[in-house]
Chain A
Amino acid sequence: MAELLLELGVAVAAIALAGALAGRIGLSVIPAYIVAGLLLGPSQPLAPVGVTLPVVAYGEVIQLLAELGIVFLLFFLGLEFSVDQLLRDRRKITAVGLIDFAVNFGIGAAIGLAFGWTLLETLFLAGLVYISSSAIVTKSLIETGWIANDESAPILGTLVFEDILIAVYLALLAAVANGGSLREAGVSVGVAFLFLGGLSAVAWYGSAWFERLFTTGSDELFVLRVVGLTTLVAGAALALGVSEAVAAFFFGTGLSQTSHVERIERLVSPARDLFAAVFFFAIGLSTDLTLLAGVAVLLVVAVVTTTAGKLVSGVLSGRVYGLDRRRSLRVGLGLVPRGEFSLVLVALAAGVGTGRLGSVLPAFAVGYVLVMSVVGSLLVARADAITDAIAAARG
């Protein structure tokens, strides 16, 4: 027990330190948590230069906390998912969402096929490079003050579209990945959609019931009910072979209809932040660094093409919203960072563990998210210089 406790202590302290360092140099915390995991992981990247850090094993405790990280990331995604907003701006959101999907998912699919990957592997790769990081993007919107400008509308619209698409996509992939043959896959998809259909129905019609269930004066009892029920729903989904993340997402949308949203956000988000941090750390832990060299070419190709992809789709999306050239380019720059959802997807791929899904893709994903989260932050910070340079180049 002492050993486990010590290991968890080392892990969380390392995460805290990494987060503080990232804040000091003005970078997103997500790459910092991954790097902390890499450094303390079993592959010991610093050992050749004579630094041996305490090794944290990718054990059951870390795995469980990381799993809760996925569940609560998606639970909050559902909780904060605004059906009203989607309906109010549905035409523009659909337009920019489809542009974003066609360009960036298309690039991912093209890369997969060009490198000779199988269909399933390509689907994972395309999803992974397609989806922007809501966490990093919204944070940089606020830091730069872009949130108060017109470019925030297409950026947030794109994120909303991506959020719902990734939930559906995760459900599909989880079902397909678990079944071997086409028939088995069909059955899995059927079970998944029955389960999620039932869950959505409960979420939609049961909001009055949720309203009463979570009404309590005690903050302690409130947190226990939310965390308990969310974990229970996610666990039940996983037992049935349905994505636990997607189940948590639907459960979150159910609660988003109630008056408890703000209280959940105030009281439960610290738990989410802790679990999610362990999740990013665990991604670093479980990465075999020796595989990174093997994916270097793929990584360079993906970074260059998908950065360009977001710029293209962003500029087009800006035009849909009637923005000028400078703001349209900012839409693209703002959406470059990739993060938590790419890693959720790869966690699912690693769970399947066959072919490239178990080895190459996780290493690729870590390298990709590290680069894209940093590149994205830098592009946003230098946005004015970039737009000026482009304007100057055009004469």
Chain B
Amino acid sequence: MTVYETDVPGVGKKFEVEIGGDERLVVLLHHDGKREVFHRPDSDTDAERLFTLDGRLAREVGAILQGAYFQPVETDNVGVPLGGAIIEWLDVGEGSPVVDKTLAESGVRTETGVSVIAIQRGAETVPNPDPTETIAAGDILVTLGTREEQSAAGSLVSDDG
């Protein structure tokens, strides 16, 4: 891969990156941090402006391209805030101590303080379940509670709880 660097007076620097054959990616780096990116399929065709980024965005996108910046959405911490309380989705694994117990027996409410507002079971959802509803492996408990309560419920339901 060859990169050609040119100074553009009054503007900044231009980088041309060979990306196979005559095809080039052209990056214009303005002094104010703005980046314009052009793509040129071959030397006979005119370049097409792909996008423009400001300095901060360009650095983040650059890091993603580089593979250095990857911040996955943390599924363990998905929560919908409701004032002081949040909603969480707790997976009930095969080895969870609450499997085959009713909601009342499981103590999810009495021991941790969260309310189970729904149970997702495969494609169907059991809204506002009765205390007599039996929890099965593979269920997802939708719980409402404070952060501490959610944390306690999480450790109660988890496999090694």
Task: Bits for A150-194, please: 1 = Cβ < 8 Å to B, else 0.
Answer: 101100100110010000000000000000000000000000000
Q: How far is the CB of A77 from chain B (nearest CB, A)?
A: 7
CA distance A138 to B10 in the complex (A): 8
Cβ of B57 within 8 Å of any chain A Cβ, yes or no, is: no
In chain B, positions 1-57 with a C-beta closer than 8 Å to chain A are 6-11, 14, 16, 24, 26, 28, 31-32, 36, 38, 40, 43-44, 46-49
Which residue in A138, A153, A266, A324 is a CB contact (below 8 Å) of B11?
A138
Chain A residues with CB under 8 A of B6: 85, 152-153, 156
Known contacts A142-B36, A145-B38, A147-B28; is-contact A80 B47 (Cβ 8 Å) = no
Q: How far is the CB of B137 from chain A (nearest CB, A)?
A: 58
Cβ of A135 within 8 Å of any chain B Cβ, yes or no, is: yes
Cβ of A149 within 8 Å of any chain B Cβ, yes or no, is: yes
Chain B residues with CB under 8 A of A81: 9
B32 in contact with A159 (CB, 8 Å): no
Question: Closest B-chain residue to A160, C-beta based?
Answer: B9
CA distance A132 to B114 in the complex (A): 74
Known contacts A142-B28, A142-B36, A266-B31; is-contact A149 B47 (Cβ 8 Å) = yes
Chain A residues with CB under 8 A of B43: 150
Known contacts A145-B47, A145-B49; is-contact A134 B9 (Cβ 8 Å) = yes
Q: How far is the CB of A381 from chain B (nearest CB, A)?
A: 14
In chain A, positions 63-114 with a C-beta closer than 8 Å to chain B are 76-77, 80-82, 84-85
A262 in contact with B9 (CB, 8 Å): no
Known contacts A142-B36, A262-B31; is-contact A148 B47 (Cβ 8 Å) = yes
CA distance A150 to B26 in the complex (A): 11
CA distance A152 to B7 in the complex (A): 11
Count residues of B near A (Cβ-Cβ below 8 Å). 22
Task: Bits for A255-282, please: 1 = Cβ < 8 Å to B, else 0.
Answer: 0000000100110010000000000000
Which residue in A149, A153, A159, A266 is a CB contact (below 8 Å) of B9?
A159
B10 in contact with A82 (CB, 8 Å): no
B48 in contact with A145 (CB, 8 Å): yes
Q: How far is the CB of A327 from chain B (nearest CB, A)?
A: 9
In chain A, positions 312-350 with a C-beta closer than 8 Å to chain B are 324
Q: How far is the CB of A340 from chain B (nearest CB, A)?
A: 11
A82 in contact with B9 (CB, 8 Å): yes
Q: How far is the CB of A267 from chain B (nearest CB, A)?
A: 11
Chain B residues with CB under 8 A of A266: 31-32
A265 in contact with B40 (CB, 8 Å): no
Task: Bits for A47-73, please: 1 = Cβ < 8 Å to B, else 0.
Answer: 000000000000000000000000000
B44 in contact with A324 (CB, 8 Å): yes
A156 in contact with B8 (CB, 8 Å): yes
CA distance A76 to B44 in the complex (A): 34
In chain A, positions 227-253 with a C-beta closer than 8 Å to chain B are none
Known contacts A142-B36, A265-B31; is-contact A147 B14 (Cβ 8 Å) = yes
- Interface residues of chain A, those whose CB is within 8 Å of chain B, are 76-77, 80-82, 84-85, 134-135, 138, 141-142, 145-150, 152-153, 156, 159-160, 163, 262, 265-266, 269, 324
- Interface residues of chain B, those whose CB is within 8 Å of chain A, are 6-11, 14, 16, 24, 26, 28, 31-32, 36, 38, 40, 43-44, 46-49
20 sampled A-B residue pairs with Cβ under 8 A: A76-B10, A81-B9, A82-B7, A84-B7, A134-B10, A135-B10, A138-B8, A138-B9, A138-B11, A141-B8, A145-B49, A148-B24, A148-B28, A148-B47, A149-B46, A152-B14, A153-B6, A156-B9, A265-B31, A266-B31
- A-B interface, 10 closest residue pairs, ranked by CB to CB distance from nearest: A148-B47, A148-B38, A148-B26, A82-B7, A265-B31, A80-B9, A85-B7, A145-B49, A149-B47, A138-B10
